[in-house]
Amino acid sequence: MKTMNSRIDPSRMGARELRDEIAAERLTVAAAAHACLARIAEREPAIGAWAHLDPGKVLAAAGALDATTRRGPLHGVPIGVKDLIDTVDLPTEYGSPIYRGHRPGADAAAVALARAAGALVLGKTVTTEFAASHPGKTANPYDPARTPGGSSSGSAAAVADHMAPLAFGTQTAGSVIRPAAFCGIVGFKPSFGAIPRAGTKLLADSLDTVGVMARGVDDVALFSAVLSGRPELNRPGAAAAAPTIGVCLTLPGAASPSDATLRLIEAAARRVEARGATLRPLQLPAGFERLIEAHKTVMAYEAASALAYERLFHRAALSPALAASLDDGAAIDPARYDAAREDAKRIGATVAIAMAGLDAVLAPAALDEAPLGLGATGDPVFCRPWTLLLLPCLTLPAGLGPHDMPIGAQLVAGLRCDARLLAIARFVEAALS
């Protein structure tokens, strides 16, 4: 008979610890589900992280998992699914009234892989409208008067507020990294295409990447390994030995980060260096500043195509900001779009040369702490170039700013160097802890 250890609060546990407690029969999946649902009931009125939640369905699924043998590396671990990603048993509305009550005929590939590994889907987390800029109802758990970031706002808030140990995000500009940084958790955007996108509502086909969020690096590594089918990502505790890290405090063409952000990233660099890393300033190549505008062009042009149905036949149900943005994208000349992509390829090749000899780059995840107000989600400028270049990125907490809000340190590695990036992230996490 499985019994819950009364000294453990499952809602405070990470994914690995929860899974191991369940495997050791010190905890039931049902008890873990009850704990997460209790936390949601307590905090959801203030935070608004969830778009769809069916507690009865969750508890029934938890009971079924308890009645079966261990199914996989996520057996019994509760997860949140961004409401941009299809689920067969819950509505998927993409943050838009156009799809109110929409029920997909199948799970998205990433959700199917998570369920096959034994994960327990708690519910759908809030997304901005079609993962663009118009925010949903979610507030930042550190200060509900401030944005949690976007577009993966509900996922970041749910993980940060101990409603779920793992959650899905997606990134087109900075939609995994920025909300994770604003909410003080770990967000991982792997190399483009590492996690399957089938069943995910796309905003920009050449940019959109499925990512993951957790409260620690080892947990995002576990989740990512399952979803990508790459076991080399899941090496718990395997930190890189004395990595060489390039430091990039500002980006040409972008506003400068706040003084608080610069101080915390510089302090993080010193602590990493004290632990044995070699630090070098990253010399960004000429033309790097064009990547920011190139990203905006590619994203706008592709979004107008991806949301053509919504733009042409349901315009009245779109937010005015998104409708205007899609009109702007539709007006972009295809030659301009092609030129932006070609320019990105050329500059990307020179960026790869600049990063040669570096294991990763350390940079701010965002310009500052989460801004006040819920009407916008913050500026993704410190994510745009890396996303356009399809590189793996990860953010982890660097400390608190002057308003006691989290500030994130972003790590960026070369294309398909995801396992190496996660090892370096463990190294940095240990240095900052």
Q: Return the active site residues.
A: 82, 151, 175
Give which of 146, 144, 84 is closest to 111, Cα–Cα.
84
Give the separation between CA 203 and CA 200, rounded to whole angstroms: 9
Contacts of 55 (CB under 8 A, 6+ apart): 37
The total number of residues written for the chain in this structure? 433
How far apart are the C-alpha atoms of 224 and 234, rounded to whole Å? 8
Q: How far apart are CA 266 and CA 44, in angstroms?
A: 36
Spatial separation of the C-alpha atoms in residues 127 and 144, rounded to whole Å: 17
355 phi/psi in degrees, rounded to 5: -90, -5
* Matching residue, tokens 């990447």: 209
CA gap 333, 339 in Å, rounded? 10
Question: For tokens 């500026």, what's the residue?
Answer: 379
Q: Do the Cβ atoms of 207 and 172 come closer than 8 Å?
A: yes
CA dihedral defined by 289, 295, 298, 304, rounded to 10 degrees? -130
16, containing H or E segment? helix 15-23
3-state helix, strand, coil in the chain (%, to 5): 40, 15, 45
Q: What is the DSSP string of 163-216?
A: S-SEEEEEESSSTTHHHHHHHTSEEEE-STTSS--TTB--S-TTT-EEEEEESS
Contact present, 234 and 199 (Cβ < 8 Å)? no
Pairing mode, strands 78-82 and 120-125 = parallel
Q: Which of these, 291, 201, 302, lies nearest to 254 by C-alpha position?
A: 291
Task: Specify the residue for token string 């500052």.
Answer: 368
